[in-house]
Amino acid sequence: MPIDTKELMKQVRRIKVVTAKLVDEHISGEYHSVFKGRGMEFDEVREYVPGDDVRAIDWNVTARMGHPFVKRFCEERELTIVFLVDISGSMAFGSCLRSKAEVAAELTSLLALSAIKNQDKVGLILFSDRIERYIPPRKGRTAAMRLVREVLAAEETRRETDLRAALQFLNKVQKRRAVVFLISDFMAEGFENELRVTARRHDLIACPIADQREQSLPPVGLLEVLNPETGEILLVDTHSRRLLESFQRQAAAEQEALAKQFQRFKMDCLRLTTDRPFVDDVHRLFYLRRQRLRRG
């Protein structure tokens, strides 16, 4: 069922207050330093002064005015930021204070408000096993908060996850290079080729969200486990040491395989969990990107 309107606005206000403060105090300046514009654009022509690069001389203006003028360029700062957010059934899960969907909404808010403060455009694609909603990139705080409302207001669904189709749709509608945050629990298969293509076309940043109970189970005896995407229910005996160890090994292997995929396609990765704040993780991502920029 859709979330109650009053409850939705309450959540939006809470996220807005929390993330706006984080943006102002911690994130905005770092964001500007690690996400660069598309290149240099012409700004103005001014008179030549000793020390200017002679390669910047505008010969047409120089000929008209009778003395040297140079072209001045500045960074084309405006970026397009697209949030590709998974709202499949598994994202509703959370064994701690927040669900994966709530973490996704908070991260979207933090980054969208940072982008808007730096005069960038923000857009949103919500997906499950189909495209649920597409909001083209726009400027302004209203645009940023609409993104948060859409993520929070997404109806609970038992739909599965089709990352392949989501990435194909992104590449179809977003022709120009963009910074893309792919926020998902990555419980899907068969998306490797589309991930590689998208990482070449865009600055693609993977944001996998996990819950501790997806990595290990507590020994509490017989436990009913629901697959939120299919509705399938399994009865497992968590007193079985062999079962618990097998579960942990499989979960660890899946995480390792996913990490290797990101590395192979030279993607940045922002790992998130439902049991702790993610601001330090965002700082770490920004730090690594800044170090890479400094190395050229």
Identify whether the C-beta of residue 136 lies closer than 8 Å to the C-beta of residue 123: yes
Taking CA 62 as the corner, what is the angle to CA 61 and CA 66, rounded to the nearest 5 degrees?
Answer: 120
pLDDT above 70: residue 296: no
**Cα 223–Cα 224–Cα 226 angle in degrees, nearest 5:** 140
Based on DSSP, count helices (H) and strands (E) in the chain, helices before strands: 9, 11
Which amino acid appears at position 207 of this protein?
C
The domain limits of the chain are 5-35+78-294, 39-76
Per-residue pLDDT for 18 more than 70?
no
Protein fold of 5-35+78-294: Rossmann fold (3.40.50)
pLDDT tens readout for residues 69-83: 887 754 555 789 999
Handedness of CA 15, 21, 24, 30 (dihedral sign): negative
- Residue 57, beta-bridge partner list: 70
Whether residue 1 has pLDDT greater than 50: no
Would you state the structure tokens that stand for residue 188, as one six-digit string? Answer: 């899907």
**For residue 42, is pLDDT > 80?**
no
Q: What is the mean pLDDT of residues 196-214?
A: 94
Give me the count of residues in the chain: 296
List, in sequence order, every residue forming a beta bridge with 206; answer none if it has no partner.
182, 269
For position 44, what pLDDT does the model report? 67
Q: Which residue has the higher pLDDT, 36 or 105?
A: 105
**Coil, helix or strand for 201?**
helix
How many whole angstroms separate alpha carbon 34 and alpha carbon 21?
20
pLDDT grade, residue 85 (50/70/90)? very high
pLDDT of amino acid 124: 95
Q: Of 84, 121, 119, which is closest to residue 104 (Cα–Cα)? A: 84
